[in-house]
Structure 1
Amino acid sequence: MQKKLAVLFVLVLLAFVGLSARLVVINKENGEKYKKQVLSQQEYDSKTIPFRRGDILDSKGTKLAVSEKVYNVILDAKIMLDDEKAVEPTIAAVQSELGIDGSVIRERLASHPESSYYVLKKQMTYEEISGFKALEVDKEQGTNIKGIWFEEEYKRKYPNNTLASDAIGFTTSDNQGLYGLEQYYNDVLSGTPGREYGYLNGDAALERTTIAAVDGNSIVTTIDANIQSIVEKYLKEFDDQYKNNHLERNGSNNTGCIIMDVNTGEILAMASYPVFDLNNTKNSEDLIGMPMVDELGNKTGEYITAENLAAMEGTEQLDQNFNALWRNFCINDTYEPGSVAKPFTVAAGIDSGSITGNETYTCNGFLEVGDYKIKCHNIYGDGPLTVAQGVERSCNVVMMYVNMATGKDTYIDYQHIFNFGLKTNIDLAGESRTASLVYDKNSLGPTELATNSFGQGFNVTMIQMIAGFCSLINGGNYYEPHMVSKIVSPSGATVQNIEPRILKQTVSESTSEIIKEDCNLVVSGENGTGKTARPAGYMIGGKTGTAETLPRGNNEYVVSFMGYAPANDPQIAIYVVVDRPNVTYQDDAKYATRIVRKILTEVLPYKGIFMTEELSDDERAELEALQIEITTPVAPETTDEDSQTADGAQGDASGGTSGAEDGTGKAQAQNGEEGNDYTEVWKTFPIDPQTGYAIDPETGELVDPETGHSVTGENSTPAGRTGANGTSGSGSSQDDGNPF
């Protein structure tokens, strides 16, 4: 038995030796061939299937962002070289049908013959590769084409290029959202990649298992592409008019506009200038004219020109300037709001019971608070004014008296109620924190209480201001502002409806009615500062704003207008901010009101809101030129106010500045309000023919001939006073709330 076992062991051992010898011979003679076959099967039969990122649509279904399938051309050198007869026919086909230089392929074959993956060309469309694919399936030519295959992926496309660029954002090369909606809704828009596996079954036959990709959901925004286009058209028109006007730079540091549904919080349009092309986000020409920032993102005080732009190429500083371009001014930059804060001051006083709104205060052009002599915009004084007249004329002194009556504790409470210092939580990436940019009860002294009353000394964002303002005019309902109304699946089914959300009640309905009446006077009143914002055929309400930036006395201002339409039944709110218009004298809210007028002239008819006011001949001609249908009968004769408003929209751009409030360049001397014998002396001043402003014969100071507001550097805020917690009081803010 032992001998038999020994013989069996020897036989088995010899069999293993023979098998091992055979494997060595096979590996030596054919190992490379088999290795190529295995690797090639892995390359072709185990691959990732990309998902399609969801679309971004406007409220009417217009596509704002889409994903288009594209193809990368891949060279497999090992497969091509495995059949040398296929090399030249394949190179010829690639060169003729795909436009790829054949020398590139030959060089790659020579330098990397073992390579199985090399990208010859990226992101070709199906139309561009269809000719080559036709040759592949051709019975005669297809057998001689090997080693070329196509890798599928998706490329993000923005059909409207610059439209809503700040709000939409864009994607990185790896399909991740950056800025705006693309970043905020990245998880919603993104899907899950699929996978295709190849393996050999028990019969050595190739089997495939495919796990399909799951495409991303799409989002339907509240943006109306038509309204957005109107807004962007007039922001660009403003820039075209004032670009390189006073300095070699854009028409302003930033010009922003938000249009919002008063009763839902939906954003109908959000835009700022300058814009950028979402399909070409790193076009350095878009930077020219912007304020320059350094490697840390801090403003340098210079502006970008073609010359200094060339010196920044390839540096960290260039990247920082692109980041500044991509930022959304409407939600990310902070500034002192100026007089658009006055309705909030009055609302806090009335709603808290601190004032009734029927009080009368006397403005002598300034008010002494503590150790400071705080001037009114009208340095000549407005005399006795009611609270409503204080809003109409934008009187700082009246507002200071109102805040004194309200008291700092109540005022700070209402600041929080109006959401100043807090995020609105709008569904966009990059909204700034402003908690450190407003005062609290411990840091607010008497002087700060006075200057805060007219919007100096604390910082806000545009979205904070318009969201709070909507609550003042809609009965007190504070809606969370939002950009998306619905999420839909790839099949078109609704996944989620995003309904309007009321967060709180800011003021009572009765207070809201009073604020509307006061703001209506700003546009319709004889002494209203916002008359030039009224579009032809409509009556609107609102509030103008001018805020002097730091350091005080630098003659640089942020001017604005925040309004609503129609005046009797607000449906939409509009807020336009012009950050340092490129003119000699910046302290003039008409740079904002005229933009508002032009935008609303087109938006209101589009929204189906009917005209209520008589038209002047000039207004009728204006509407006919714009091909806007007149939606109400108009009388052949117009009032003086109608004529002034129509002319005021044209203004006087001589010397880079605007004309008088009524746009005629002529002062109209008249007494104050009925029962007020206070003489408006500034209306008797001669007019400077170059600027259209009135000239004080005693001081030579330029003032607005309608309002008496100084435009040559008279400070409303005490010199040297800063914003809350020592902030700069005006300018841009990083996401953490720290100003540049």
Structure 2
Amino acid sequence: MRKKLAVLFVAVLLAFVALSVRLIMINKENGDNYKKQILSQQNYVSTVLPFKRGDILDSQGSKLAYSEKVYNLVVDSNLINATEGALEPTVAALHECFGLDEIEMRNYITSHKDSRYYKPLKRLSYEKIEPFVKKQNDPTLNQGIAGIWFEEEYRRVYPYGPLASDVIGFTTDDNIGTFGLEGYYNETLNGLNGREYGYLTDNEDLERSTIGAKDGQTIVTTIDANIQAVVEKYMTKWNREHEGQYAFRTGELGSKNTGVIVMDPNNGEILAMASYPRFDLSDPRSLSENGLYTSEEIAAMDEETYYKNLNNIWRNFCISDTYEPGSTAKSLTIAAALDSGAINGNEVYYCDGSLEVGGHNIHCHNRLGHGQVSVPYALEQSCNVALMHIGQAMGKETMAKYLENYNMGLKTNIDLSGEARTDTLVYNAADMVSSDLAISTFGQGYNCTMIQMASAFSSVINGGYYYQPHVVKEVRNSDGTVARKVEPRVLKQTISETTSDRMREYLNGVTVSGTGKTAVPAGYKIGGKTGTAEMYPRGTGNYVVSFIGYAPADDPQVVVYVVIDRPNTDSQPHSTFAQEITRNIFNEILPYLQIFRTEELTDEERAELMELGIIPQPMIENASDGSELETVETSVGEGEGVNPAVNVTTDPATGNVIDPKTGIALDPTTYEPVDPTVSDLDNIGALIDEESNISIE
């Protein structure tokens, strides 16, 4: 018996030795492969490490948009149920720290035992989660809490609310930029997520491997938040003053759209850009901003209407909408005629109020005519008839050539998403008939965007250099180092420096003795051009009014362009609406830009600046006679105070002047039609697309 046991023991021992030898051989020859197979079956955990989207800074370093870390509360029901005694203390802590309903949480955890990822609360600040974190990490307070963790992510913050909303744009929850800089520079601002990998070993040790997140780059813009705030203040003020003013548009905003661009003409930098109505970047899907819609109106919208209205307020009017520019384009026409040699500037034309071209009787805004008109006087008084004569001297080929030189019909390629195409909205020489040429000389018949006109006009006054407009001047890495600088880029020369010098002289006259006197800020000399464009279809009384000006007059450093689409007034065709906004903007931003006053202030100008808070109120005592000071008087229309070319007949009942050619009633001051639906263009058409002048209805 003992012998048998000894043999069995030896056999077992030999088998064990053989097995051990075999295991050693296997481990030596194929150990790594088997190790990988075993590890592949272990319980891995993987956590996303979110990147931080880059900041958007203004030109002075202020943050217009940034991302801050937030936390999602994650409930692991599986772990809570698997941990003895964890349910009640965990539910109680969630109620105490976050106000979550105990019954609802208990029911969820017990009825979803396999759930490992439930987020009852999202985007909490650290201040919100701190009390729970302390309780969870303190052994004396924990009392069995389990299955709760916090997932990190970032949310976009816009500290100034609606300021520069059209320029900045916004992001979705998953860091996709929409509109503006957020959309155009989406890939630059975004980074790459990192990831933390982990698994439990046989000894239940947690092994980790981490790939860090790569944060997005920061963009430094040319926008100056102080100038932007001034622009939006006066743009909003004007629109609120005119809300529901016209009887047939009661309850409507002060205009269908209003846009303002402030630009450095010498490098293409956009210092401010805004359009009205605005929206709040912190709540971009709200239609109640500015009283745009009531809660009842919003509730009555179907989904299609709701999103159509949202898209309307998200559109940047300055780059996305097109319109006929009107008389501001006269500066481009005269510059083209001088530069091409079609005129020498010494010509004199006769304006009797209209000119027949191609079978159409096309009127000047002054129906009684300006009489003898020199080239500079034609620009000062915005004479349509003189401009049509200049167009005939140029011919359609030259006109079309210079429109292309000015980049009309071509994108400026400004670094903002949503710039409109206008290639089908500008005449070419082959398709242009004589009446098209005639009205295009004063900015009718073709369409442009505000950024196209601001860029073209800047080239007229800066020596002829067309700079590509841009909003970003620098890109920085997340560590603050400069990745790329955006240098000013001259794309072409539109006119000669000699022509540009002469155009500044002409445009300076517009604000001294012409239609642009209302735009002149207190204590400064500026130049500029007024604009009043009759919208298509003609004869409806709808107009786009504008003013584009620059300062100082002798050395332009800043351009301000204001466009008002269908002002809410009983009579729309008055550029003084835009001039009023321009004047107020200039009054504030010129001292800020250290462009100092060169002219003595009148008592009226002192009173105006006191009212605006630009100079202190005690200076009221400096009035020459101690009397109450009056505000500056403004003119209306584009032909204030000019002498008619014909004898005037007045209607004794109304005091209106009678047009001897048509018999219609004219304003006795401006000689423009009293009835705003009377067209100057004899119903000549225009190159209009369906997206032009989109308004919020």
| Equivalent residue number for residue 27 of structure 2 | none
- CA apart distance, 1:680: 8.0
Displacement of 1:110: 3.0
In structure 2, what residue type is equivalent to 1:394? S
SS of residue paired to 1:718: coil
- Deviation of 1:131 after TM superposition, in Å, equals 0.3
Q: Give the match for residue 31 of structure 2.
A: none
Corresponding residue for residue 705 of structure 1: 669
One-letter identity of the residue aligned with 1:718: D
The alignment partner of 1:140 has SS state of: helix
CA drift of 1:730 comes to 5.5
- 1:22 aligns with none
1:421-473 CA distance string (max 9 Å, x none):
00000000000010001111211111100011111110000000000000000
Question: Paired residue for 2:391?
Answer: 403
1:617 corresponds to 2:603:
yes
Partner of 1:696: 657
Kindly provide the amino acid, as one letter, of the partner of residue 409 in structure 1: E
Q: CA deviation at 1:702?
A: 4.6
Cα deviation 1:371-395 (Å, max 9, x = unaligned): 1111111111111101111110001
* 2:276 equivalent in structure 1: 273
Change (3 A) 1:251 1:594: same
Shift of 1:236: 0.7
- Alpha-carbon RMSD: 2.9
DSSP 3-state at the match of 2:473? strand
Distance 2:638 2:389 in 1: 27
What is the aligned partner in structure 1 of residue 685 from structure 2? 722
Number of corresponding residues: 650
User: Is the aligned partner of 1:731 residue 2:693?
Assistant: yes
CA distance 1:711–1:387, change in 2 (3 Å): farther
> Where does residue 250 of structure 1 map in the other structure?
253
Shift of 1:64: 0.3
* One-letter identity of the residue aligned with 1:69: K
% identity of equivalent residues? 48
Shift of 1:483: 0.2
Residue 221 of structure 1 corresponds to 221
What residue identity is the alignment partner of 2:208? R
Q: Structure 1 571/52 Cα, relative in aligned 2: closer, same or farther at 3 Å? A: same
Aligned to 1:468: 456
1:621 Cα deviation from its structure 2 partner: 2.2
Q: In the aligned structure 1, how far is the partner of 2:131 from the partner of 2:383?
A: 73
DSSP-derived class of the 2:288 partner? helix
Q: What is the alpha-carbon distance in structure 1 between the residues aligned to residue 504 and residue 593 of structure 2?
A: 21
Post-superposition offset of 1:622: 2.2
Task: Provide Cα deviations, 1:504-523, integer angstroms capped at 9, x if missing partner.
Answer: 10000111011111111111
Contact 2:77/2:110 (CA < 8 Å) preserved in 1? no
TM-score, with structure 2 as normaliser: 0.88
Please give the alpha-carbon distance, in whole angstroms, between the structure 2 residues aligned to 1:172 and 1:680.
Answer: 65
Equivalent residue for 1:122? 122
1:443 is the counterpart of 2:406:
no
Instruction: Kindly indicate whether residue 383 of structure 2 is the aligned counterpart of residue 419 of structure 1.
Output: no
Q: Describe how 1:589-738 pairs up with structure 2 within 5 A.
A: 589-629=575-615, 647-648=632-633, 671=643, 678=645, 681=648, 695-696=656-657, 701-703=665-667, 705-706=669-670, 708=672, 712-719=676-683, 721-724=684-687, 727=689, 731-732=693-694
Superposition map of 1:84-103 within 5 A: 84-103=84-103
For 1:67-86, what aligned pairs fall within 5 Å after superposition?
67-86=67-86
CA distance in 1, matches of 2:652, 2:102: 78
> Offset at 1:627?
3.6
Q: Which deviates more from structure 2 when the two are superposed, residues 478-487 or residues 202-211? A: 202-211
Matched, 1:378 2:366: yes
> Counterpart in 1 of 2:3?
none
SS at match of 1:601: helix
Kindly indicate whether the alpha-carbon contact (under 8 Å) linking 2:608 and 2:632 is maintained by their aligned counterparts in 1. Answer: no
1:569 aligns with 2:546: no
- Residue aligning to 2:59: 59
8 Å CA contact 1:215, 1:490 repeated in 2: yes
Does residue 349 in structure 1 map to residue 337 in structure 2? yes
> Does residue 583 of the first structure (1) align with residue 586 of the second (2)?
no
Q: Give the unaligned 5+ runs of structure 1.
A: 16-37, 290-303, 652-658, 673-677, 689-693, 734-738
The aligned counterpart of 1:534 is 520
- Residues 124 and 728 from structure 1, CA distance in 2 versus in 1: closer, same or farther, beyond 3 angstroms? closer
- 2:25 maps to none
CA distance in 2, matches of 1:128, 1:524: 61
Work out whether residues 703 and 710 of structure 1, in 8 Å CA contact, stay in contact via their aligned partners in 2: yes
Residue identity in the other structure for 1:549: M
Q: CA deviation at 1:310?
A: 2.9
Structure-1 separation of matches of 2:330 and 2:274: 25
Partner of 1:32: none
Contact 1:265 1:467 in 2 (8 A): yes
CA distance in 2, matches of 1:101, 1:461: 55
Q: What does the per-residue CA deviation read over 1:287-313, in whole Å, with 9 as the maximum and x for residues that have no partner? A: 855xxxxxxxxxxxxxx6665433215
Give the whole-Å Cα distance in 1 for the aligned partners of 2:550 and 2:673: 24
Change (3 A) 1:700 1:201: same
1:262 Cα deviation after fit: 1.1
Q: Which whole-Å CA distance do the structure 1 matches of 2:173 and 2:623 have between them?
A: 61
Compared CA separation, residues 536 and 128, structure 1 to 2 (3 A): same
- Decide whether aligned partners of structure 1 residues 84 and 204 sit closer, same or farther in structure 2, where only a CA change above 3 A counts: closer
Counterpart Cα distance in 2 of 1:606 and 1:564: 15
Q: Does 1:311 align with 2:296?
A: no
Within 2, Cα distance between the matches of 1:543 and 1:577?
12
Deviations 1:528-581 (A, max 9, x none): 111100011111111111111121000000000011011111100010000000
Alpha-carbon shift at residue 112 of structure 1 (Å): 1.2
Name 2:238's counterpart in structure 1. 238
Residues 51, 432 of structure 1: alpha-carbon distance in 2 compared, 3 angstrom cutoff: same
2:262 aligned to which of 259, 266, 275: 259
Q: Could you tell me how far apart the structure 2 residues matched to 1:602 and 1:219 are?
A: 27
Among candidates 470, 475, 486, match of residue 498 of structure 1: 486
> Hey, what's the Cα distance between the residues in 2 that align with 1:181 and 1:686?
59
CA distance in 2, matches of 1:702, 1:60: 51
User: Which of 309, 319, 336 lines up with 1:321 in the alignment?
Assistant: 309
What's 2:500 paired with? 512
TM-score (norm 1): 0.83
Aligned ranges 1:351-366 → 2 under 5 Å: 351-366=339-354
Aligned ranges for residues 21-60 of structure 1 at < 5 Å?
Answer: 42=44, 45-60=45-60
Aligned pair in 2 of structure 1 residues 345, 280: CA closer, same or farther (>3 Å)?
same
Letter in 1 for 2:685: T
In the aligned structure 2, how far is the partner of 1:87 from the partner of 1:202? 28
Q: How far, CA to CA, are the matches of 2:675 and 2:272 in structure 1?
A: 31
Contact 2:366/2:670 (8 A) holds in 1: no
Does the Cα contact within 8 Å between 2:223 and 2:471 map onto a contact in 1?
Answer: yes
Distance in 2, Cα, partners of 1:238 & 1:680:
38
Match of 2:34 in 1: none
CA distance in 2, matches of 1:221, 1:479: 17
Paired AA for residue 580 in structure 2 = R
